[in-house]
Structure 1
Amino acid sequence: MEIVSFRTPGLGDQTYLLTHDGQGVLVDPQRDIDRFLTAAAERDVQLRFVLETHLHNDYVSGARQAAQRAGAELVLPAAAGPAYPHTPAFHLEDIQGGHGLTLRPIHTPGHTPEHTSYLVLVDGEPVAVFSGGSLLVASAGRPDLLGPERARSLAKLQHGSLHRLAGLPRDVELLPTHGEGSFCTASGAGRYTSSIGAELDGNPFLAVGDAEAFADRLLAQPLPIPAFYRHMGPANTFGAPPMPPVDVPELTVDGLPAAAHVVDIRPRPALAAGHLPGALGIELRDDFGSWAGWLLPHAEPVVLVADRDQDVAEAVTQLARIGVDGVAGRVHDLGAHATARFELLGLDAFAERAAAADAQLLDVRMPAEHAAAAVAGAVHRFLPDLLAEGIPAELDQSHPVLVACGSGRRAAIAATVLLRAGYQPVVLDGVGVPELAATLSA
């Protein structure tokens, strides 16, 4: 038996391909399914099953399309109730593969009500469990993504689910879908897979014996929920279309669609030196799609501004994973139209400006980051809230706004938001608020 993992860092998720004697099982595939089907073909494996642990909140599933393309059986939790044909997985009703392979569904509600893990047995011996968003590496799946009204009830169910999985043999490999970088986790973790024994020894959530205390701990510091999450459940319930083409046409600035949102994916220095007025700057990295999905209106047309050597297809793929299919094209040459600019400063120069008596500093990090380390007198507004709630009233348009985050990435995005609102942003680049606070207090 071989288990191949496919990491998608920007979403903090993993898809798995299990192979056994020429048959394959694909677990929680994302929408760009070619990479999974190619891996199966390279191993001369025929996909027998495509499994989903739950109706995902953080990405559009590729399970339905993968099953259709490969002629595999699509298996979803019995309580999921999607609007397309599938095989329901009932608690402890074994699904038989060939050559001694058995998949045993284990109902593990908490992350979602229908959530189901799958125990893998070979010749009757348990060897691995696909735990989806239930028991994670040093963490647990969030129970609050379906709304605060259901969060506590689901948190208590999650307590029982974690202990149900923890009762498996210690040497069973733990293969969760969610991991570091995912907003579906209750806390961060530095590893992606584990074992039941390692989690029994080190997972802090398994050390909480009481369901009420567990719920208190799980819900004590709620994380923000990306705006695009609310669109993923319906897409996965009713079935999304196949991946759109990732090769989009080249456009000119004069030929941009009037209704399109312009997103500049170039590196920060290029963005600061000049971009299209009104554009939202989100440099292309692993988490580009998540930030774009969080900050842009869902399902509205997008045009990407990119350097010619940038991987525009990667940007389109990241957007498609979260259901943003309307990329109208790409622009490479801005010419004389790149008139929007902001300052990008290193720590010493930025600190000197921040130490001035009339300086106004904006911190755009997450609430938990701000609570852990802050600069006295700084105005705090989490980046997505700059668009949802507007620019803080304390900030004066007639004076520069010094913007900081953890590295400069989110601050640069915020700078483009401030610019189109008429402010004069100055971005701390390369370091974050903790380093700035230490410098200012030295």
Structure 2
Amino acid sequence: MDLVSFRTPGLGDQTYLLTHEGKGVLVDPQRDIDRFLHAVAERDVELRFVLETHLHNDYVSGGEQAALRTGAELVLPAAAAAAYPHTAAFHLEDIKAEGLTIRPIHTPGHTPEHTSYLVLIDGESVAVFSGGSLLVASAGRPDLLGPARARTLAKLQHGSLHRLAGLPRDIALLPTHGEGSFCTATGAGRYTSTIGEELDGNPLLAVSDVEQFADQLLAAPMPIPAFYQYMGPANTLGVPPMPALTVPELDLADLADQPEGTQVLDVRPRTVQAAGFLPGSVGIEIANDFGSWAGWLLPYQAPIVLVAEPGQDVTEPVTQLTQIGIDTVRGVVRDLGEAATEQFELVDVPTFVDRLADPTAQVLDVRMPSERAAVRLDGAVERFLPDLITEGVPAEIDPDRPVLVACGSGRRAAIAATLLARDGYQPVVLTGAGVADVVAARTH
């Protein structure tokens, strides 16, 4: 047996390719399937199965298209009831190929239909693909389908975790969700494990009482990205093939010809954005989590025009957008001329601390509630970055005075600066550091 994992850091997910004696099994593939099929071709194996553990909430799946491209058998949980051809996986009903057996294990909790897959080679159990059920030192969160169902799913998750924990200790645990995913209930660490390691170290497996387990799982839920609501329906009905990743080059004048509601998305480095960006544009510099922030902050499926530097490759941001089903990029503008009239200031920790000494200073903390609970900046007005879109700028912030903006590293603060600037505020962004650094500097 050989196992290849494909990490998608911005989504906090892993896709797996298991191969054995010329046959391959692909598990939970994202939409950009060429990278997986290239690995299949490199190994000269027949892709026999494509397995989906659940109807994903954080990305649109490439499972259907991977099966269509290769002739592999697409397997989904029976209760998923997807609208395209597939093999329904029923609890403990084996799916077999020569020397290779896939044993579905119904593990509801993250979603109602969630199914894990135990892999047996020549009759011996070797690995379990646990999707969003049992994770490394964590579990998949049960609240993504709304608060009304969250407690029921949390209690189901308790049974599912213990069902998987009853497998032999030496079986490899191969979850889809991991560190960086908003689908985890708590901070997952490493990406893979074994059943034995989780029995010894996963704190959730130590909670025997189901009500206490549900309380713990639901005690401090993370925010749910806005685009998640569109992923499950898309994965139920079917996802079209990836669009072309090349986009037209546009002139600044072409912006006037774009459809109503077009969003201008600036992907240049924050240092370049700070020096001048288009009024009304949203700045999200390219990084692993670019697509997640774009999907969270922009109206879903709105037409998008990118702003990039001359020579800057935009394949990565277009790919990340397509991974969450956004195929609406209409082009890229590279020369802003004299139109880049909005600006914000970037400062380091010492300068930020000096500005805080001014009694008229105002500070906006755009971190998540859980981050603020761990380390607070005294006197700061607190509003999570996406809430600037849904709730607006806090009324306490005076647009006539500069506003010091901080997060955990400067990334979200820089995004917030473009949102603030378009509403007439004067942002001063802590960059390359975060609130914890400011708090530490002020105590020394």
The verdict on a shared fold, with TM-score over 0.5 as the criterion, is yes
Partner of 2:315: 313
Residues 30-429 of structure 1 aligned to structure 2 (within 5 Å)? 30-98=30-98, 100-256=99-255, 257-259=258-260, 260-429=262-431
TM-score, normalising length from structure 1?
0.99
Contact 2:305 2:330 in 1 (8 A): yes
Alpha-carbon RMSD: 0.8
Amino acid at match of 1:15: T
Partner of 1:12: 12
Amino acid at match of 1:293: G
Amino acid at match of 2:417: A
- CA displacement at 1:375 relative to structure 2: 1.3
Contact 1:355 1:440 in 2 (8 A): no
Contact 1:10 1:288 in 2 (8 A): yes
Distance 2:399 2:129 in 1: 52
Q: What secondary structure does 1:175 align onto?
A: strand
Amino acid at match of 1:3: L
* Greater mean alpha carbon deviation, residues 176-185 or residues 348-357: 348-357
Distance 2:442 2:359 in 1: 13
Contact 1:308 1:332 in 2 (8 A): yes
CA-to-aligned-CA distance 1:338-372 (integer Å, 9 cap, x gap): 11100000111111111210000000000011111
Q: What secondary structure does 2:249 align onto?
A: coil
Amino acid at match of 2:42: E
- CA displacement at 1:258 relative to structure 2: 4.6
- CA displacement at 1:308 relative to structure 2: 3.0
Q: What secondary structure does 2:79 align onto?
A: coil
Q: What secondary structure does 2:31 align onto?
A: coil
Q: What secondary structure does 1:185 align onto?
A: coil
Q: In the comparison of the two structures, how many residue pairs are matched? A: 441
Distance 2:207 2:145 in 1: 23
Amino acid at match of 2:280: G
Is residue 2:442 matched to residue 1:440? Answer: yes
Contact 1:53 1:77 in 2 (8 A): yes
CA-to-aligned-CA distance 1:81-101 (integer Å, 9 cap, x gap): 011111100000000011x11
**Which runs of 5 or more structure 2 residues have no equivalent in the other structure?**
none
CA-to-aligned-CA distance 1:140-193 (integer Å, 9 cap, x gap): 000000000000000000000000000000110000000000000011122100
Distance 1:179 1:437 in 2: 29
Contact 1:24 1:45 in 2 (8 A): yes
CA-to-aligned-CA distance 1:19-38 (integer Å, 9 cap, x gap): 11111111000000111111
CA-to-aligned-CA distance 1:226-266 (integer Å, 9 cap, x gap): 00000001100101211111000111111122532011111
Contact 2:259 2:303 in 1 (8 A): no
Contact 2:410 2:431 in 1 (8 A): yes
Amino acid at match of 1:40: V
Distance 1:308 1:201 in 2: 53
CA-to-aligned-CA distance 1:274-298 (integer Å, 9 cap, x gap): 1111110000000000000000000
Residue identity over aligned pairs, in percent, reads 73
* Greater mean alpha carbon deviation, residues 260-269 or residues 176-185: 260-269
Distance 1:440 1:269 in 2: 26
Distance 1:267 1:355 in 2: 29
Amino acid at match of 2:38: T
CA-to-aligned-CA distance 1:90-117 (integer Å, 9 cap, x gap): 000000011x110000000000000000
Partner of 2:28: 28
* Greater mean alpha carbon deviation, residues 331-340 or residues 62-71: 331-340
Distance 1:241 1:101 in 2: 30
Amino acid at match of 2:376: A
Distance 2:188 2:353 in 1: 32
Distance 2:325 2:312 in 1: 22
